[in-house]
């Protein structure tokens, strides 16, 4: 949890500095231009206002983000860590090549696994084809998450890459929702590929 909180604070650093600068400018206008106080006397108060604005901004947003992320992790039975802050949230599944299965067949199997899953709330399938599956899922706190799954097959390996990001750009701070959804999709993808591999072995 501490690692996640520190990662959130680092992500908010630039926005906090901008907020602090705005507070400092406002204080400067009020003291120097409004009250006519010399800049040398007003400087300490201006700097204090800027620092306070930045700290309050970072503290409030980071705390609310961490609380929400903690609830998300608990709901999905996951352990929250700094990797949950990264966007897009990327997960990979790699296994030995599945003989007799094309990328399209494997993608179709993944689509059925997601559609039937009781945890993943499917909102829309936006793309489906040869090795491509794009979905919009309703994550925790009703956050819409765009999920892109890419399946590749080769003579030695079958791989699936899952990428999840907020469907709305203003939800970028809700990275934990994308991370949680990506983790669940990763598990379902792994299960579906293992089932296809077992069926392929049984058919030989």
Q: What is the pLDDT of residues 65-84, one digit of tens each?
A: 677 677 777 777 777 777 87
Q: pLDDT at position 204, please?
A: 63
pLDDT-derived band at 147, boundaries 50, 70, 90: very high
Q: At what angle do helices 39-76 and 175-203 cross, to 10 degrees?
A: 30
0.75 exceeded by the pTM?
Answer: no
Q: Is residue 56 exposed (0-12), middle (13-18) or buried (19+ Cβ within 10 Å)?
A: middle
Q: pLDDT at position 30, please?
A: 73
Q: pLDDT at position 64, please?
A: 66
pLDDT-derived band at 146, boundaries 50, 70, 90: very high
Given a cut of 80, whether residue 186 has pLDDT beyond it is: yes
Question: pLDDT tens-digit profile of 16-37?
Answer: 677 777 777 777 777 766 666 7
Q: How far lies 54's CA from each of 24, 42, 61, 142, in Å?
A: 10, 19, 11, 29
Tokens of 75: 């709901």
> What average pLDDT score do residues 90-115 get?
90
């Amino acid at each position: 949890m501490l690692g996640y909180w520190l990662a959130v604070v680092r992500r908010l650093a630039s926005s906090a500095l901008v907020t602090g600068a705005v507070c400092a400018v406002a204080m400067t206008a009020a003291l120097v231009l409004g009250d006519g106080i010399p800049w040398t006397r007003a400087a300490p108060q201006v700097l204090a206002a800027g620092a306070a604005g930045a700290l309050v901004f970072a503290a409030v947003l980071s705390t609310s983000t961490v609380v929400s992320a903690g609830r998300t992790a608990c709901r999905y039975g996951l352990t929250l860590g700094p990797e949950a802050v990264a966007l897009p949230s990327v997960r990979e599944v790699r296994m030995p090549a599945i003989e007799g299965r094309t990328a399209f067949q494997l993608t179709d199997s993944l689509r059925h696994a997601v559609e039937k899953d009781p945890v993943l709330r499917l909102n829309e399938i936006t793309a489906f084809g040869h090795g491509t599956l794009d979905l919009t899922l309703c994550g925790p706190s009703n956050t819409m998450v765009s999920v892109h799954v890419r399946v590749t097959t080769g003579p030695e390996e079958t791989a699936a890459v899952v990428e999840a990001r907020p469907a709305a750009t203003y939800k970028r701070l809700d990275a934990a929702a994308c991370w949680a959804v990506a983790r669940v999709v990763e598990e379902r993808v792994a299960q579906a590929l293992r089932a296809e591999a077992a069926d392929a072995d049984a058919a030989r």
